[in-house]
Amino acid sequence: MQDPRESAPAAAPLRHPSTTVRAIDALSDATGVLSALALIAMTSIVCFEVFSRYVLNEPTYWGTDVATYILVGMTFMGLAQAQKAGTHVQVEILVASLSKDWQRRLGLYANWLGLLFVLFTGWQMAIFNYQEFANDTRDWGLLSTPQWIPELPVSIGYAAFALAILADILRDSRAPRLSRILGPVLVVGLAAGLLYLGDRPMKIPGLRLDVGSIAVVAVFLAGVLLVNGGRMFLAVGAAVLGLGALYWASKGAPLTLVSALLVGTLLVLLVLGVRVGLTLGLVGLLGLMFLLPMPQPSVLAERSWNSVNTFTLTAVPMFVLMGALLIRSGVTTQMFDALTRWFGRTRGGVAHATIGASAVFAAVSGSSLATAATMGQVACPEMTNRGYSPRLTYGVVAAGATLGILIPPSIAMIIYGTTVGVPVTQLFIAGIIPGVLISLGFMAGVALWTVLRPAATPAGQHYPLKEKLAGTLSVLPFIVVIAVVLGSLYMGVATPTEAGGVGAAASLLICLVRGMLTPRALLDIALETVRVTSFLLLIVAGAAIMSWAFDFLRIPRTLVSTVEAAELAPWLIVLIIAAIYIVLGMFIESISMMLMTLPVTFPIIMSLGLDPIWFGVALVIMIEIGLVTPPVGIILFILRGVSGTVPLREIVFGVMPFVAILLAFQVLFYFYPALVTWLPAQIE
């Protein structure tokens, strides 16, 4: 029978959200504020640990453990806020080409699929949490912390995340009020009731799903039917049951077929717009339930907890916080003005100043996206007002932004080092010479552009020495922050993780001295940092779940064996890997791409006998290329949004010469790896 809602004319979305949605939004705001306060507390603890150890010579026995626990709680409690703000990363290549109505429908479909993973993982996390409480499991550290305490925010965070996804579904649904009330009650209430099944739900002979798993799927599909009606129920049900049946039938199939199935599912879900972190988790969930000799749903909880419960990852939110505080202080604009005065006389001088400013900002932010957003607002208007062509203007800014994840500190290097077990300090040092060389290469590209296209750049402007010297003072805050971060790191005062906290404290002090920070502004900055951190570390957790299934199935080892048996030249294998990364970079966000591929590519690189530090830098350069390569290159869209009127085509044409420069340096670093590995070897 046809659903009556589908035969009626499409109604407009509700102007005002329902009471249920408003309540969920309030919960998301509350968990977001708690996460923001947790971020501030974590940064304070890390700074206190450095002070206590270095100044008082009395290192704490609790600082590292407590900061790590706070990171875990902040990450998962912040997921709901990130969902509400729409900051979870997705691939929009298909979504962006559709009409508004189809975008809404596909968004509902993607959110329902993502919600299934969150329900499964949240249920397993709650069971895991209860087991830790019942068994009185304690940390091995000096604190001997009962593990259920720091794990509880993970369970609560998943529950709030599920509700936030449901709120987005209800916001976009054209359903009667009764469905809007019964849907969340059914989905949330019955899912919570699954806990009574305990940690060993009853098995059903002949099926790989236990009673609890079937109950989760049944509750989930009932929610789809109640909220969105028959058509969505059929679409989502076909995806869930069809994928389950397909994976079930593939158990024991040749590894090539299984690998193709996993990769194909990953790509299809990404194209459909399922958030990247949830896509990785869904693929891992399917593998855990259907491809292994015995289903292992408990891995969902164990990996969620252990993948983020790492002190090294506390550097991620602190470096993001540091960059946000510097933007708030206003010193970024003044630094660009100072460099413009020094380069002003040179033809194309403002373009050179933009690259220099991008390199300096990259050295304190660790983020290409932050560099693009900042320099796009500061440098682009200045260059276009002075008569620079749009292509050169936005090409230079896009190229300069790629330095954000190469010049240390770098969030991408932190995650790479944590994932593969390479010292982050060595990676930071390894990025210095390549970062400087690529910056100089970009400047050479600008100089060549001015020769070949003189009309693209106006004549230089002379500034008196007095103005140059006066403007130089505005660079001092950046020099202070760089000195604090890198100085504390390389002098042994702070670890790479702690250096982020020290830099954030220095940036906060600059904001306070300049009178640019209020308590409300600090809370807003902390909230934005939480949103960015939560979606990044959700990707880390999703990748950890997926890699467990990959490793159990021995996919990486089999690929390594296949590559070795093929006896291809190492340079050809590296070329193939680079080509794959560049193609993936056209569609997938950088950190997501790195975490999805490392379980496969890193073992291959190691089998070739290549240096893991060299590969870390090479990987970052390939990620940089992906950031500025259409159709998805995220920096291109950031600059398109900043410009307001400049066509995306002009930005793409402008950045292509700099992509060629990046590729040339990638070749150079392959044939002369000492350019990457020499400096770390000297300082080690």
Are 676 and 406 spatial neighbours (Cβ–Cβ below 8 Å)?
Answer: no
Q: What are the Cα distances from residue 179, in Å, to 23, 25, 170, 297?
A: 16, 18, 9, 31
- Condensed to tens digits (0 to 9), the pLDDT of residues 69-111 reads 999 999 999 999 999 988 776 766 677 778 888 888 999 999 9
Q: Structure tokens of 631?
A: 């159709």
**Mean pLDDT, 10 residues at a time, the chain of 684 residues:** 36 56 91 96 93 87 91 96 84 77 90 93 90 88 87 94 91 66 60 55 70 83 85 92 92 86 89 88 92 88 91 84 81 74 75 82 70 77 82 89 80 85 88 91 90 79 72 75 78 80 89 86 92 86 86 77 78 87 71 79 89 93 82 72 74 90 93 92 74
pLDDT of residue 593: 76
C-alpha span between 276 and 232 (Å, rounded): 22
Element (H, E) at 381: helix 368-385
C-alpha span between 682 and 684 (Å, rounded): 6
C-alpha span between 282 and 278 (Å, rounded): 6
The runs of H, that is alpha helices, within 406-518 are 411-420, 424-430, 432-452, 465-472, 476-490, 496-513
Sign of the alpha-carbon dihedral angle for 486, 492, 496, 497: negative
Bridge-partner residues for 138, per DSSP? 146
Q: What are the Cα distances from residue 593, in Å, to 373, 428, 434?
A: 21, 20, 22
The residue whose two tokens read 């939480």 is 530
Are 422 and 684 spatial neighbours (Cβ–Cβ below 8 Å)?
Answer: no
Q: Structure tokens of 357?
A: 């400013």
Per residue in 382-394, is it b (16+ CB within 10 Å) or e — as a string?
A: bbbebebbbbbbb
C-alpha span between 504 and 588 (Å, rounded): 29
Nearest residue to 154 via CA among 285, 37, 307: 307
C-alpha span between 467 and 472 (Å, rounded): 8
* Ranges of each domain in the chain: 89-308, 313-517+553-683
Beta strands in 140-292 (DSSP E): none
Are 380 and 643 spatial neighbours (Cβ–Cβ below 8 Å)?
Answer: yes
Are 153 and 77 spatial neighbours (Cβ–Cβ below 8 Å)?
Answer: yes
pLDDT of residue 630: 72
pTM of the model: 0.81
Are 322 and 539 spatial neighbours (Cβ–Cβ below 8 Å)?
Answer: no
Bridge-partner residues for 146, per DSSP? 138
Other CB atoms within 10 Å distance of the CB of residue 407: 26
DSSP output for 29-54: HHHHHHHHHHHHHHHHHHHHHHHHHH
Are 531 and 270 spatial neighbours (Cβ–Cβ below 8 Å)?
Answer: no
Nearest residue to 460 via CA among 333, 335, 357, 341: 341
- Residue 458's Cβ-count burial label (10 Å; 0-12, 13-18, 19+) is middle
pLDDT of residue 175: 60
